[in-house]
Structure 1
Amino acid sequence: MSEQPAARKDVVPALADTSGLKEPPTTRRGLRTRAALVASARTVFERDGFLASRLTDITAEASCSTGTFYTYFNSKEEIFLAVMEAARDEMLHPGMPHVEEADDPVAVIEASNRAYFETYKRNGRLMRLQEQVATIDDDFRRRRLERGEAFARRNAKSIQKLQEDGRVDATLDPMMTSRALSGMVSRLAYSSFALGENWSVDDLVETSTRLWANALGLTAER
């Protein structure tokens, strides 16, 4: 497989391909109706799961007819993509921020972990829904993997910069380390906020940050 151009390595792909969706309405009423359908679909999907949800459940939640639904969407799959698109900015997490030379890397890791856990807590049911759809939709699964890879590369670049500055164990492979530690944080979040283990954000941040720091060989700002 050929290497991707360097300029594109950190580009985070969209979670869903919405290019095939119908053009959005141009009237205020149409925009309100479409938005109500998307919000209702998210409620139904999170409540019942993707497979068990029916179009009639969505239209009932939105207090509109099936005919109105088909004005804006062709299928349950299409409105699911619209739900993911609407939640994109809310769920997007940039990974570990770039670490400037003067920054305390442990503090940066802590802030990044806190932002991730808080975002996950707000969207736990939608995260669980993503896991379900990824098992039945190959394109959606591929896009999830691509997004995870992009975030891992961002974190790996930060780890490599810390290695070059002599602040992190130079024997660690940056990409493998990023994948391992990011996977740990992701699984903690999923177990707590999607599956209902219900650990507090503070406890998750404290433990995950300490594990990140210990794994990288960071102790304190030098």
Structure 2
Amino acid sequence: MALARKLFTALLPILAYVLLRAIHLTLREVRVGEAPVGPCILAFWHGEQQLLLGVRPALPLVAMTSASEDGRLQAKILKYFGIESVVGSSSRRGASALLALTRSLRAGKSGLMAVDGPRGPRHEAKAGVVQLARSTGLPIVAVRATTRSCWTLSSTWDAFQIPKPFARIEVRYLEPLWVGQGTTRKQIEKQRSTLNLRLGVDRET
């Protein structure tokens, strides 16, 4: 029984990747706004990551995943998609993960961050992404990926969405948000509120 469980755990990321990749190949992207072509921090809501993963811009990406068992599974799946991961969150191993993420961004990669994590409240951006933008000098590019054709896991706190085959995905890129290195704590809060407003409009395609 233990061997079967270990085998299933080892195969699950591969099986998930194959299934998701097959779905992603059928997706139809409708792009609104200009996709970034240089290093940036892509900021999105939890729950939309699988929609975005299928139509993401062609950038070398690094994501922060949680230190939970689910987060480690996600990191393994992202690896198959060619996306680097650092394991941690604002509540577990956060400082070391943020440092590793900062190093990757300074080395030329772009960040992929669900900004209302790790456990919500849903659709409420945290200040961490603004602080990361301040320390790296990279702009924050808010992005929404929405569709009417998806499976929604209503039992999850973030209403996690998985696109259905041949779904039409609207990907909306907003204007870059720049954060100066001299930005104060009060200004960081203002920038966080601005990001929240940019991401906050729910759209369905």
TM-score bracket, normalised by the shorter chain, equals under 0.3
- Please state which structure has a larger fraction of its residues in helix: 1
The structure having more radius of gyration, on CA atoms, is: 1
TM-score (norm 2): 0.26
